[in-house]
Every structure is written in C-alpha cells, then in structure tokens.
C-alpha cells in the first residue's frame, strides 16, 4: 500500500484515535500490564482495572513483592484468571533477573505481546500484529509500517469490524478491495452461562472472598483450579495461593 494511503490512515488516527491510558507511557511494565489485561477482555472493561492495578502496584518490583493470592483477588472480574498468575510470575522473574532480550521467555507472553511491549515501550521498528491489525492488513492487502500500529488497532476495533465493517467511515475505503463485503461469524465460543468456565469463575470468587471447606466445593472444579495454581488445598481447606 502506498505511502499516501498510509498517511490517510495516520491522519484519520490523529483525529479519531482512542485516548487510552497505556498510550501515555513508555514504561514497559505498565504496557505489559495493559497488554495482558487486553487479552480476551474489552477495552472499556480494562481501563478502570488497569488504572487501579497500577495504583496498587506501580512498578514491577511492587507486583513481584505481592502474593499470588493478592494478584488473583485484584484480578477478579476480568476473567481468564491464569493471566493474573502469569503476569505475577513474569514480574517476579523480571525483578530477579531483569527484562530478558526475548520477552517471549516470560510466562504468558507470546509473540504479539512481546512485539507490542517492544514497539510501544522501546519504539522498536516492528509492527505488532493482533487480530484487529491482521484483519485490516488482510482486507486491504496493504503494507503498513510500525508507526501505524495504534492506528491499525483502532481502525480494526472501531471501523473494520469482524462481521459488518463500517466502510462508510473508513479512511481507506477508496482503495480497499474488500469494501462493501460482509462476513460470516467466526466460530462462537460455547455459552458461558452454565458452563464449566462459569463454575470455575464462581468457585474462584468464593475462595477469593475467604477460605472454604473443600468438601463444600465442586470436586472437579476445585481440582481444575488447583491444577492451574489458582487455589491451594490443604487440610481440607481451599484458599488462594500465598
């Protein structure tokens, strides 16, 4: 995609880009927290929790000094609680040995998250490709540079939507070969209501509020939570890890 078209995208972003708190920092820890929270959780839900998390643990050393149970408790409501444990484990590794050259060595950090921290904290010349960025690139057939990272994310999240893109609001519509197309829904995740995931979440919420008798909890759910390191069972009691 030509430079003038990329400039159209950046011009749109300057006027329409989202104001998000993690875009106002170059602190790799703060950016890592935001990226982990944003995995499978909507931006609107993340913003207040991100601010509260950093107010409580403003540095990687502060988070590393917390107990796993404290972090799990703070994470309640964001879902996918293993992310909290991985973030805490990553913080402890960084506090002990510094930031690794390859961030994918950190627990829970994949290629995209590593690239996002490298780009947004250190301004490395690479383009982090998440679901939204990939969608825009595939539909437009474009080639975009690292400077377009946030713009591509916002375009994919607010305009180039998964099923029914808002082509009338897209700055790239004139040259986009996919303009006007509609898309079949992707495979849906199973219903949360009544699912094992819901039972896990409810059980973890109970244990987070106070230690519980193991016999009062569903055995299969408790076993699953314990296997993930989200609860500890000792002397017939289930509690958060200490």
Do 103 and 145 lie in one domain? The reply is: no
Q: What is the pLDDT along the chain (242 residues), one digit of tens a residue?
A: 457 889 999 999 999 999 999 999 999 999 999 999 999 899 999 999 999 999 999 999 999 999 999 999 999 999 999 999 999 999 999 999 999 999 999 999 999 999 999 999 999 999 999 999 999 999 999 899 999 999 999 999 999 999 999 999 999 999 999 999 999 887 666 677 778 989 999 999 999 999 999 999 999 999 999 999 999 999 999 999 99
Whose structure tokens read 């404290």?
70
Do 91 and 34 lie in one domain? The reply is: yes
Which of 35, 125, 138, 218 does the annotation list as catalytic?
Answer: 35
Residue 35 to residue 20: CA distance in whole angstroms: 12
Do 85 and 33 lie in one domain? The reply is: yes
Whose structure tokens read 């749109």?
12
Residue 117 to residue 28: CA distance in whole angstroms: 6
218 domain-assigned: yes
Compute the CA torsion angle 159, 162, 167, 172 (nearest 10 deg): 70
Do 63 and 99 lie in one domain? The reply is: yes
Domain that holds residue 105: 27-122
Supply 64's token pair: 């590393």
Closest to 201 (Cα-Cα) out of 174, 224, 171, 233 = 224
Q: How many CB atoms lie within 10 A of CB 41?
A: 16
The yes-or-no answer on residue 105 being catalytic is: no
Q: What is the DSSP string of 66-86?
A: S-HHHHHHHHTTSS-THHHHH
Q: Say how far residue 61 (Cα) sits from the centre of its chain.
A: 21
Q: How many CB atoms lie within 10 A of CB 200?
A: 19
Do 117 and 136 lie in one domain? The reply is: no
Q: Is the pTM of this model over 0.75?
A: yes
């Amino acid at each position: 995609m030509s430079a003038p078209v990329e400039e159209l995208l950046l011009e749109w972003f300057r006027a329409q880009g989202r104001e998000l708190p993690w875009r106002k920092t170059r602190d790799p820890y703060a950016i890592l927290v935001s990226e982990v929270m944003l995995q499978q959780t909507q931006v609107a839900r993340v913003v207040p929790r991100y601010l509260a998390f950093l107010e409580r643990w403003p540095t990687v050393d502060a988070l590393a000094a917390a107990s796993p149970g404290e972090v799990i408790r703070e994470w309640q409501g964001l879902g996918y609680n293993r992310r909290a444990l991985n973030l805490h484990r990553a913080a402890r590794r960084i506090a002990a040995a510094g930031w690794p050259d390859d961030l994918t060595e950190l627990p829970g950090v994949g290629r995209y998250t590593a690239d996002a921290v490298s780009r947004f904290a250190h301004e490395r010349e690479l383009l982090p490709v998440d679901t939204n960025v990939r969608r825009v690139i595939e539909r437009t057939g474009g080639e975009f540079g690292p400077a377009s990272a946030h713009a591509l994310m916002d375009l994919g999240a607010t305009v180039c939507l998964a099923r029914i893109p808002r082509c009338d609001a897209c700055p790239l519509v004139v040259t986009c070969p996919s303009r006007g197309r509609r898309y079949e829904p992707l495979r849906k995740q199973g219903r949360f209501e009544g699912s094992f995931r819901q039972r896990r979440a409810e059980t973890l919420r109970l244990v987070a509020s106070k230690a519980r008798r193991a016999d009062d909890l569903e055995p299969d759910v408790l076993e699953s939570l314990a296997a993930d390191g989200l609860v500890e069972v000792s002397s017939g009691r289930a509690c958060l890890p200490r």
